[in-house]
Amino acid sequence: MRAVVQRVSEARVDVEGDGGLETVGATLDGAPALLVLLGAGAGDDERDVAWMASKIVGLRIFEDAEGKMNLGLGEVGGSMLVVSQFTLYGDCRKGRRPSFVGALEPGAAERLVDAFVARCRESVPHVATGRFRTHMHVRSVNDGPVTLLLDSRQGA
């Protein structure tokens, strides 16, 4: 699995609804938060889900009383917005059009993303999501900025 993790002061994801854009997921107002753009790749399984969830929930990227990045999301009472994003597996090495052959097929990817969200909810009370297989509008205010790239194949 691959993830882009951003420390944010706010984030939300909107999709087209009957009356225009409708918000389907958002971080809690005023709470420290993470926006996680998450992709599942061919060969990913529950071990990748477990590693990624544990790593992201435990990232010490929130400031303590001394201003050092020393606290995890659970320690600061934060929230998380998870947005599935197969384009994290886009291969741009050849030509100008990305190849997505490294991305997991949609049905299996959705199951892994759901499993990731379920694991995160064991430690983080508020985990919101986008809507799988829809065109989403993701809005965020990056805090820091702090942006990290994670890959379960390189970390395990």
18 has a pLDDT exceeding 90:
no
Mean pLDDT, the chain, rounded, equals: 95
At 7 the pLDDT is 98
| Known catalytic membership, residue 6 | no
Residue 156 pLDDT grade (very low, low, confident, very high; cuts 50, 70, 90) = low
Strands 126-129 and 79-84: parallel
Catalytic residue among 87, 116, 132, 147: 87
C-alpha closest to that of 89 among 101, 71, 80? 101
74-112 pLDDT per residue, tens: 899 999 999 999 999 999 999 999 999 999 999 999 999
CATH 3.50.80.10 fits 2-155, yes or no: yes
Residue 122's Cβ-count burial label (10 Å; 0-12, 13-18, 19+) is: exposed
19 pLDDT above the threshold of 90: no
Bridge pairing between strands 79-84 and 33-39: parallel
pLDDT value for 155? 64
Q: For residue 131, how many other CB atoms are within 10 A of its CB?
A: 15
Is residue 129 flagged as an active site residue? no
Contacts of 19 (CB under 8 A, 6+ apart): none
Q: How confident is the model at residue 71 (pLDDT cuts 50, 70, 90)?
A: very high
Name residue, tokens 């490294």: 102
- DSSP annotation of 116: H
Active site residue 154: no
What the block records as the tokens of 89 is 């597996």
The one catalytic residue in 27, 86, 116, 129 is 86
Please give the share of the chain, as a percent, with pLDDT higher than 70: 99
- The model's confidence at residue 69, banded by pLDDT at 50, 70 and 90, is very high
- All structural domains of the chain with their residue ranges: 2-155
